[in-house]
């Protein structure tokens, strides 16, 4: 952690925050959670957040401190397979048994600090990666829908950091909009799933 975070300080960080309405995803997960459990896998929200085209590193709070194992080639895995892989990494992390194969090769990191608490963060990039996202706690908050009606919404904030030598603000904004749109309308994710 000392070596990588010191190296990270050389990166000019660009920060970008937004909120995502997870109301439909909360409903979808509640429908799928029992099905996954019947097949021996605990399904949290992370497998939905992770589903992209990368080796997604997951910041993990373990008895040995911060570790970042990665789920490899998430584009080729189903949400269920990502959940199973995350369960495996979490079990190894808790037992202090994560090895070099799991701890190397990440291309993008997500830090779900919201599983402990907090709304916004200023995540530090894990070199040689060029971007990272921190996820806040999912909160039930009042929001207006497209018909200007007040509704109960499940809101999560996301805080991205990007290496401004490689990624500009507009690119980060377009990426964030796309990521949020998949999670706000999880049925659209199903259409593109492989």
Which letter does DSSP use for residue 16 in this model? Answer: E
Q: Is 45 near ligand CAO (CB under 6 A)?
A: yes
Say whether residue 90 binds ligand CAO (CB under 6 A): yes
Report d(CA 194, CA 168) in Å as an integer: 29
For residue 62, CA distances in Å to 28, 95, 105, 122, 154 come to 29, 9, 19, 20, 27
Please state whether beta strands 108-111 and 131-135 pair in parallel, antiparallel, or not at all (unpaired).
parallel
Tell me the closest approach of the beta carbon of residue 114 to ligand CAO, in angstroms: 3
Residue with tokens 């085209």: 53
Distance CA 84, CA 21 (A): 25
Binder of ligand CAO out of 7, 35, 66, 178 (CB under 6 A): 66
Q: Does 59 bind ligand CAO (CB under 6 A)?
A: yes
Interacting residues with ligand CAO between 145 and 184 (CB under 6 A): 156
Residue 118 region, left (φ>0) first, then alpha (ψ -120 to 50), else beta?
A: left
**At closest approach, how far in Å is the CB of 158 from ligand CAO?**
10
- Respond yes or no: is residue 168 known to be catalytic: yes
Phi–psi pair at 120, nearest 5 degrees: -115, 160
Contacting residue, 4, 115, 119, 176, with ligand CAO by CB under 6 A: 115
Q: How far apart are CA 128 and CA 43, in angstroms?
A: 30
25 binds ligand CAO (CB under 6 A): no
Regarding 60 and contact with ligand CAO (CB under 6 A), the answer is yes
From residue 124 to residue 143, the character string flagging contacts with ligand CAO as x (rule: CB under 6 A) and all else as - is: -----------x-xx-----
Q: Among 18, 61, 81, 184, which residue interacts with ligand CAO (rule: CB under 6 A)?
A: 61
Which residues are near ligand CAO by CB under 6 A?
A: 44-46, 58-61, 66, 86, 90, 111-116, 135, 137-138, 156
Catalytic residue annotation: 164, 168
């Amino acid at each position: 952690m000392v070596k990588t975070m010191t190296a990270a300080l050389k990166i000019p960080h660009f920060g970008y925050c937004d909120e995502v309405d997870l109301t439909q995803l909360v409903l979808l997960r509640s429908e799928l959670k029992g099905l996954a459990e019947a097949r021996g896998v605990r399904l949290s929200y992370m497998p939905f957040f992770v589903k992209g085209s990368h080796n997604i590193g997951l910041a993990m709070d373990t008895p040995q401190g911060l570790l970042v194992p990665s789920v490899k080639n998430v584009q080729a895995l189903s949400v269920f397979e990502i959940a199973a892989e995350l369960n495996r990494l979490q079990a190894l992390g808790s037992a202090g048994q994560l090895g070099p194969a799991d701890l190397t090769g990440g291309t993008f990191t997500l830090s779900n600090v919201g599983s402990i608490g907090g709304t916004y963060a200023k995540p530090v990039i894990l070199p040689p990666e060029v971007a990272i996202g921190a996820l806040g706690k999912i909160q039930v908050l009042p929001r207006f829908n497209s018909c200007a009606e007040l509704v109960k919404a499940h809101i999560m904030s996301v805080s991205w950091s990007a290496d401004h030598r490689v990624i500009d603000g507009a690119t980060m904004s377009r990426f964030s909009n796309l990521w949020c749109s998949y999670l706000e309308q999880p049925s659209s994710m199903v259409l593109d799933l492989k």
